[in-house]
Amino acid sequence: MVARPPLKLLMLHGYTQSGPLFHAKSRALVKHITKAFPLHEISAIYPTGPLRLNPADIPGYTPMEDSSTGSDEKEDIEAYGWYRRSNTAEPPLYVGLEDGLDAIAKVLNEEGPFDGVIGFSQGAAMAAMVASLLEGEKRREAFARFAPASSSSAGVEGFVYPASFAKIDHPAMKFALCYSGFRSPGDRYRAFYESPAIQTPILHVLGSLDAVVDETRSRSLVEACVGDPESEGKVVWHPGGHFLPSQRPYLDAAVRFIRECLEGGQQGGKGKEEEDVNDMDLPF
C-alpha cells in the first residue's frame, strides 16, 4: 500500500490560550481539512507559547476572592502568549517576541517540515511573521536593511533576524491562514513586511464585529502581502466577532485556498458531503 503524502499544519493559538485550548477551538476546521484531502495524511501540531500569563495580564479578568481569608490569592491559570505588548514603549514593543519565535523555531526543527501555518489573533500575527522569516535570502536582507536605527523615521532600531531561524533548515511555507490577524506596528518590525512584501500566500479571515482586533490593524497585514489579496479572494469576512468561524462557507473557503496553494488552483473532483460540524462560535 502506497503511503499517503503528509499535509502538516502548524497551529498557533491566540493570547490567553494554549495549544490544547486552540486544538478544541479549531476542531471543526481541521476536521473539514482532513475530509477534504483524503489522499493526504493530515497532522496538526499545537505548540503552546512560552509566556505563561498572570491574571493581571488578561484583559477583563477578575480574580476570585478567597472566602476564608478575604484576600485575592494568586491563581494558577492555563493561559499563555507568544509575547506581551508593552503599554509604555513608543513605538510599540513586543516583549518576549524573541522567545516566542525561538519556541516556534524549535517546533519547526523537531516536528517539521510543515506545509502551512494557521493562527488565531496573536497566533495569526505570529503565523505571518513565521511565514515571512522562512522566505529566504531576500527576507534576511530586509532585516539587515531595517536593523540600523538610521533606517527608521523614528530612530528606532529594527528587530534583528532571529538566530534560531538562521540555524534551522526549513522550506518556505506553502500557505498561511490568519484568523483575526494583524501586523506588528511601528518601524521596529518593518522587515517582516517590507522590501519585499510577504510572498507566502495568506488567507485572511476577519470578523466584521471583531471588537478585539481593530479592522485597520488587520488591513495593515493584508496590505503587507504581495499582490492585491482583496481582489484575489484572499480576504474573507464573516459576520461575527473575535473567533474562528465554524460555519460551512468559511470552512470551505479555507479548504479551497489550501487546495489552490497545493495544486496550483486545480480544483479536482468534489469530495463527499461533510458531516455537520460542532458549533464553536464562541469568543476566545
- Supply the pLDDT for residue 226: 97
Question: How many alpha carbons lie under 13 Å from residue 76 in its C-beta half-sphere?
Answer: 0
- Supply the pLDDT for residue 88: 85
Answer yes or no: is 66 within a domain: no
Contact 111, 170 (CB under 8 A): no
User: Per residue in 253-271, pLDDT tens?
Assistant: 999 999 999 987 433 333 3
How many helices (H) and strands (E) would you count in the chain? 8, 10
Active-site position among 121, 164, 218, 246: 121
Active-site position among 26, 184, 242, 246: 242
Q: Is 81 helix (H, G, I), strand (E, B) or coil?
A: strand
As a whole number of angstroms, the distance between CA 10 and CA 123 comes to 10
Answer yes or no: is 23 within a domain: yes
**148: domain range?**
6-58+77-263
Answer yes or no: is 178 within a domain: yes
Active-site position among 18, 184, 187, 210: 210
- Supply the pLDDT for residue 238: 96
Residue 5 phi, psi dihedral angles, 5° rounding: -65, 145
Contact 258, 175 (CB under 8 A): yes
Residue 173 phi, psi dihedral angles, 5° rounding: -65, 145
Extended beta strands in the chain, E state: 6-12, 41-45, 51-52, 80-81, 84-85, 94-95, 116-120, 175-179, 202-207, 235-238
As a whole number of angstroms, the distance between CA 106 and CA 96 comes to 16
Does the annotation mark 279 as catalytic?
no
Question: Cα–chain-centroid distance for residue 73?
Answer: 33
Answer yes or no: is 241 within a domain: yes
Answer yes or no: is 199 within a domain: yes
We report the CATH number of the domain holding residue 192 as 3.40.50.1820
C-alpha cell at 242: 473575535
Answer yes or no: is 72 within a domain: no
Does the annotation mark 242 as catalytic?
yes
Answer yes or no: is 225 within a domain: yes
- Supply the pLDDT for residue 59: 72
- Supply the pLDDT for residue 62: 57
Answer yes or no: is 274 within a domain: no
Count: domains in the chain: 1
As a whole number of angstroms, the distance between CA 222 and CA 112 comes to 26
Contact 241, 210 (CB under 8 A): yes
Q: What is the 3-state secondary structure (H, E, C) of 50-63?
A: CEECCHHHCCCCCC
- Supply the pLDDT for residue 263: 84
Per-residue pLDDT of the chain (284 residues; tens, 9 = 90+): 678 899 999 999 999 999 999 999 999 999 999 999 999 999 999 999 999 998 877 776 655 554 444 444 455 678 999 999 987 888 889 999 999 999 999 999 999 999 999 999 999 999 999 999 999 999 999 999 998 766 666 677 899 999 999 999 999 999 999 999 999 999 999 999 999 999 999 999 999 999 999 999 999 999 999 999 999 999 999 999 999 999 999 999 999 999 999 987 433 333 333 333 333 333 33
- Supply the pLDDT for residue 61: 60
